[in-house]
Amino acid sequence: MAALPSQRLFRTLLTLFVFAMLPTNGFAASLNTQARYVVTLRGVNIAEVGVNFKDDGQNYTANIDGDVSGLASLVSAGTAKLTSSGTSNGKQLQSNQFLLETKTSTDTFTVRFQANNANVTSTQVVPPLSQNQNRVPVVSKHRRKINDPIAAFLVKADTLNPDVCNRSFKVYTGVERYDLDLKFAEKQTATSKRTGYQGPVMLCTMRYKPISGHFTNSDTTNYMKSNQRFLIWYAPLGQSGYMIPYRVLVGTAFGDLSMVLTRLNY
């Protein structure tokens, strides 16, 4: 089969990057975490994701780098980089700056935005998005009371319990605005010795609701709206009071896209 179109792949991988990476509870005064994840499509390794997260109790920075191999002609090769920074002294992280950059052998796409008190103050997209009547416009109210797709998922929870799952996020990427609703499914135990963690995990289901910035005739958007196979497993980060996503799974028209924790240092 032909390789998946580059931007479609990176959009789907971005969904995984922002769900499977960082701590979800901020009790430690200072934290410096490095993690590695492997991404598979239909059971074939297609990418590796590296994560670095720092939090001094007042401010945080998060850097995520993805390298897509294009293995077995399933996907187009390329790289993806995400950066988020902002405040960490509230009930959840709040982004002040966000950057997403994807590169392939033929094109580069960059989007960034700045925010203040959860309200977007500026957005830059390079190259600019083409005008399309099927794209739902992002209006000013959609840029208020939001978080970026990294900081939104770094929620706080005292223990590994159903409340880790039962929450909703209002996400802005600089291009799209959408809601994500998480709900508790069940408590499980991770046992594989090939992963970076063994022990109790909390399984959550996710539902995607596009608000604006998407295309009404997009097969990907319409598929994700009704996707029932959109799952995340959370695990505790030692005794630190933090949680991290252990695994993320997104059912796609091309097969299951999965990301699993393989290494963790903190």
pLDDT tens digits along 154-172: 767 778 899 889 989 899 9
Spatial distance between the Cα atoms of 231 and 248, rounded to a whole number of angstroms? 6
pLDDT less than 50: residues of the chain = 1-7, 19-28, 72-73
**What domain range is 30 assigned to?**
6-265
Count how many residues are written for the chain: 266
Give the side-chain half-sphere CA count within 13 A for 221: 17
Distance of CA 144 to the CA centre of its chain: 20
Q: Is 44 within a domain?
A: yes
Task: For residue 251, tell me if it sits in a domain.
Answer: yes
pLDDT of residue 183: 96
| Res 24: pLDDT | 46
Residue 161 lies inside a defined structural domain of this protein: yes
What is the tally of structural domains in the chain? 1
- Mean pLDDT rounded to a whole number for the chain: 84
DSSP of 174-243, one letter per residue?
A: SS-EEEEEEEEEEEEEE--TTSS--EEEEEEEEEEEEEESSBTT-HHHHHHHT-S-EEEEEEEETTTTEE
Half-sphere exposure of 27 (CA within 13 A, CB side): 13
Q: Which pLDDT belongs to residue 20? A: 46
Residue 159 lies in a domain: yes
Domain assignment of residue 240, yes or no: yes
Rg of the chain's alpha carbons, rounded to an integer? 17
Q: Scanning the structure block, which residue is given the tokens 């490095």? A: 34
- Does any domain span residue 1? no
